[in-house]
Amino acid sequence: MKTLIIAEKPDMGRNIAAAIDPKAKNHRTYIEGEHYIITWAIGHLIGLAEPDAYDDRYKRWNIGDLPIIPDVFKLVPNRKTMDQLKVIKELAKRCDSLVNGCDAGREGQYIFSLIQRHLKLRQPVKRLWISDLTPETIRRGFAELRDGSEYENLTKAATARSEADWLIGMNGSRAFTTKHNVLLSVGRVQTPVLALIYDRQKTIETFDSLKFYEVEAKFLQEDTAYRGLWQGERMTDPKKAEAIAAKVKGKAGSIASYEVKDVKEYPFKLYDLTLLQREANGKFGFSAKKTLDTAQALYEKHKVITYPRTNSNYVTEQNIPEMHKTLSSLHGTSYDDWAKGANKSLVHKGNKFVCNPAKVEDHHAILPTHRKASGLSPDEAKLYDLIVRRFLSQFYPAAEYKSHTVLTEVEKETFKTTVKELLSLGWKVLYADQKKDKPKGAKKDKEDESEDEEEVLEPFSVNPALGVKCTDAVMKEKETQPPKPYTEGTLLKAMESAGKQIEDEEVRDAMKDSGLGTPATRAATIERLKNVGYVTMQGKRIAITQKGRTAIELIRAAGVELLTSPEMTGMWERRLNEIARGGASDAAFMENVKKFATMIVDKVRQQARADIKAFEGDEKPGKGRGQRSSRSGASGRTSRTNSASPDASPGKAARSTAVKERAEAPGDGTIADCPRPGCGGRLFMGRKGYGCSHYRSGCSFVIWKESFGRSLTDAQVRAIAEKGKTAKLKLNMADGAEIQGRIVLRNPVTGELAVEADR
């Protein structure tokens, strides 16, 4: 018999087939060779069942039925991909062994595990664990297949993560929604991230700015001119500052001290996913999701970078030869000059800034592969360029400076001067064409540094034995500044360290195991906050909506503020990582989650109902329909959010209060009867979806406007509601494929949609 290889996506399956059996025959849904049959999932083929799968009474939302805590979680196939699941089932009957070829990470492990459990596959399993999709790496991975049992702890962690998210999301969302008669989404990761945004906004709003004053003096010693800042306690009296400026201006002074030291600045660390997302957001305005999707395309479609969903900034000893090979492959490309100027000997196993196996778990840092890039889209090219430059910088020496610190004394007043004199650009030559866009990753953000440091290209020196003259002195008015609103980049940084404002890289590295979510899920969490109407984007800034504010205030007022605690949720993530390593019990973790879900429900029962006006506020009619809402519902993912998604909202529709009130009178602005059996409500258009006028009674039916790459019209939604399908349309699937087909109503209870492809 043969071995069945199950990849995570079609492209990955085809790459595997091309590497290990290029003569294998393509059968569209699988590829068969002499020894192997290669097939694939299409993301998640299986999911956790909705509550009504356990009891019909859960179809109606009622706080009296909570908490919902299954003894054993039921699995259900995704109807959109049922055919592919049947293919896997039939192929497995012809094979006596399996290879898990899904993504080498927690989610990939979970996808395979769900298929294995649902189909009751009993064959022995081997695990393919690779970090890029080049043929050489795939073949080496098959030569080094490991026993599937070695990853049992990772499976336990993945399962615990999913079931914990279900328990918190389902119970929390239903409890708060039914109590307050407004669709409120609650989630294990989503809610503390929203709390970070809320707390930052409150700090900004309550910030009391304070004026203070500095004195800047200009000095001249022979031909050397420099400036210095007055040293002393912060001055809040402008008269004092003016008096000091007048006192020293035009007067002679002396050098009280002069210190010179050599400084080296080494290249910034290689990228992990979060750092890449942060920099792409700062430089290009990419959302975290866009960066992840683009990086995934570079990995899976073009095969020009290694596995992107990593939390490591380092490589292992085994990666060093591959890095050298990649460097050689960059000769003759647009990076030829830099590749020729690189020094291979600088990247070796003894260089702990690059090679640190202790800080590599599942995957090493993101690297370019030795495959030459071609056919990249403009956005793919931008991201690839970031990765290549960061990679090449490791083969360049440190940038070298002389740091000059001068204390100048005039009329018993002391002024400090710090001059950073460039001696050698080193690795910074790679960024010489991006002077305004310095790469991130340093221990301090540049914007937080004092203005008293000046970087110069020409030689600088003073003579302590000679006098100086203060040629000018001026008072400068300053003002203390509140923290800046979060951007996606700075929010990712906060999520990585569970909200702790940690500048020290080593400490921040230690916090990675207890961050909010994982590198692979943080982008989806931010998108979810947009989709449920808790935040909006104002340029690059993330702004919390009135609904988002009220949600956090209600949760905290209920006495379940732990649900909003980044540190607590970060500790949960750390525990999941410990489970994956075999250092903690998944059963004990789940018991604690069940107790917490029960506590949430108990606390919410005792809470007074919020006034509906508490959810009204800052959003103008139509706001959010443009670039934000149209992009937030990614094509092909809309119907999936109607399933038991961990952080998804109960009905999933972010309805504005004005639309809710309008929908109270059936026929006013409604377009069709609600398809949910026995409901009797009418569908109306909300800000991002078409919901039911009986939502207050627990009807969670909703059809998202943005579905499968289409912005649905009233007529199309009416056709779905009344006929069960649209006319033939051009649609975009989750894997990026464009097809001709019809959008069909898969689930009349929830509004979940699917695609009926045109044969």
pLDDT digit string (tens) for 202-245?
999 999 888 999 999 999 999 999 999 999 999 999 999 999 99
pLDDT of residue 629: 30
| Close Cβ partners of 433 (under 8 Å, ≥ 6 residues apart) | none
pLDDT of residue 696: 67
The residue among 719 and 657 whose pLDDT is bigger is: 719
The conformation of residue 305, written as its DSSP 8-state character, comes to B
pLDDT mean over 504-518:
69
Domain-wise residue ranges, the chain? 2-144, 162-205+484-615, 211-266+399-435+449-479, 273-395, 670-757
> Taking 70 as the threshold, does the pLDDT of residue 643 lie above it?
no
Within a 10 A sphere around the Cβ of 75, how many other Cβ atoms?
15
pLDDT digit string (tens) for 471-499?
999 999 999 999 999 999 999 999 988 86
pLDDT of residue 624: 34
pLDDT digit string (tens) for 10-31?
989 999 999 999 999 999 999 9
Rounded Cα distance between 152 and 131, Å, is: 20
For the domain bounded by 211-266+399-435+449-479, which CATH number is listed? Answer: 2.70.20.10
| Close Cβ partners of 137 (under 8 Å, ≥ 6 residues apart) | 130, 131
Rounded Cα distance between 311 and 295, Å, is: 14
Helices 566-580 and 152-180: crossing angle, nearest 10°?
A: 150
The DSSP-derived string for 370-404 is SSPP-S--HHHHHHHHHHHHHHHHTTSPPEEEEEE
Ranges assigned E (strand) in 295-424: 399-410, 413-424
Query: What is the architecture, at CATH level 2, of domain 2-144?
Result: 3-Layer(aba) Sandwich (3.40)
pLDDT of residue 666: 33
pLDDT mean over 37-53:
94
Cβ-contact 52, 749 below 8 angstroms: yes
Helix (H, G, I), strand (E, B) or coil at 586: helix
pLDDT mean over 290-311:
94
**What integer best gives the mean pLDDT of the chain?**
87
* Window from 73-77, 147-151, 456-460, 514-518 with minimum mean pLDDT: 514-518
Burial 132-144 (b: 16+ CB within 10 A, else e): bbbeebbeebbee
Rounded Cα distance between 657 and 611, Å, is: 12
Residue type present at position 525: T
The residue among 110 and 440 whose pLDDT is bigger is: 110
733 falls in which pLDDT band (50, 70, 90)?
Answer: confident
pLDDT mean over 273-296:
96
> Taking 90 as the threshold, does the pLDDT of residue 133 lie above it?
no
| Close Cβ partners of 147 (under 8 Å, ≥ 6 residues apart) | 125, 126, 127
| Close Cβ partners of 479 (under 8 Å, ≥ 6 residues apart) | 209, 210, 211, 212
pLDDT digit string (tens) for 644-702?
333 333 333 333 333 333 233 333 457 888 998 888 888 887 767 888 877 766 788 88
End-to-end CA distance of the chain: 33
> Taking 60 as the threshold, does the pLDDT of residue 707 lie above it?
yes
> Taking 80 as the threshold, does the pLDDT of residue 509 lie above it?
no
**Token pair 């399956």 in the structure block, residue:** 13
Domains 2-144 and 273-395 share a fold: no
Rounded Cα distance between 140 and 16, Å, is: 11
Task: Indicate which residue of 307, 314, 335, 690 is catalytic.
Answer: 307
- φ, ψ dihedrals at 47, nearest 5°: -140, 175
pLDDT of residue 732: 79
> Taking 70 as the threshold, does the pLDDT of residue 100 lie above it?
yes
pLDDT of residue 749: 84
pLDDT of residue 483: 92
Rounded Cα distance between 419 and 426, Å, is: 19
| Close Cβ partners of 499 (under 8 Å, ≥ 6 residues apart) | 192, 196, 516, 566, 567, 570
Rounded Cα distance between 276 and 365, Å, is: 10
Is residue 67 reached through a cis peptide bond, with omega within 30 degrees of 0 on the bond before it?
Answer: yes
Q: Is 307 a catalytic residue?
A: yes
pLDDT digit string (tens) for 324-359?
999 999 999 999 999 999 999 999 999 999 999 988
**How does strand 2-7 pair with strand 36-40?**
parallel
Rounded Cα distance between 311 and 496, Å, is: 9
Rounded Cα distance between 400 and 225, Å, is: 23
pLDDT of residue 434: 80
pLDDT mean over 585-614:
95
Residue type present at position 160: A
Q: Give the pTM.
A: 0.77
pLDDT of residue 504: 59
What is the share, in percent, of the chain residues with pLDDT greater than 70? 88
For residue 41, the number of C-alpha atoms closer than 13 Å in the C-beta half-sphere is 25
State which CATH number among 1.10.290.10, 3.50.50.60, 1.10.3720.10, 3.40.50.300 fits the domain covering 273-395. Answer: 1.10.290.10
Ranges assigned E (strand) in 615-716: 670-673, 682-685, 689-692, 702-704, 706-707, 710-711
Rounded Cα distance between 3 and 29, Å, is: 16
Rounded Cα distance between 62 and 697, Å, is: 9
pLDDT of residue 684: 80
pLDDT of residue 452: 66
43 falls in which pLDDT band (50, 70, 90)?
Answer: confident
Within a 10 A sphere around the Cβ of 437, how many other Cβ atoms?
12
pLDDT mean over 176-188:
93
Cβ-contact 201, 486 below 8 angstroms: no
Residue type present at position 688: K
pLDDT digit string (tens) for 426-455?
999 999 988 654 444 443 443 333 456 789
Cβ-contact 64, 103 below 8 angstroms: no
| Segment of 378-392, 430-444, 500-514 carrying the highest mean pLDDT | 378-392
Query: What is the architecture, at CATH level 2, of domain 162-205+484-615?
Result: Orthogonal Bundle (1.10)
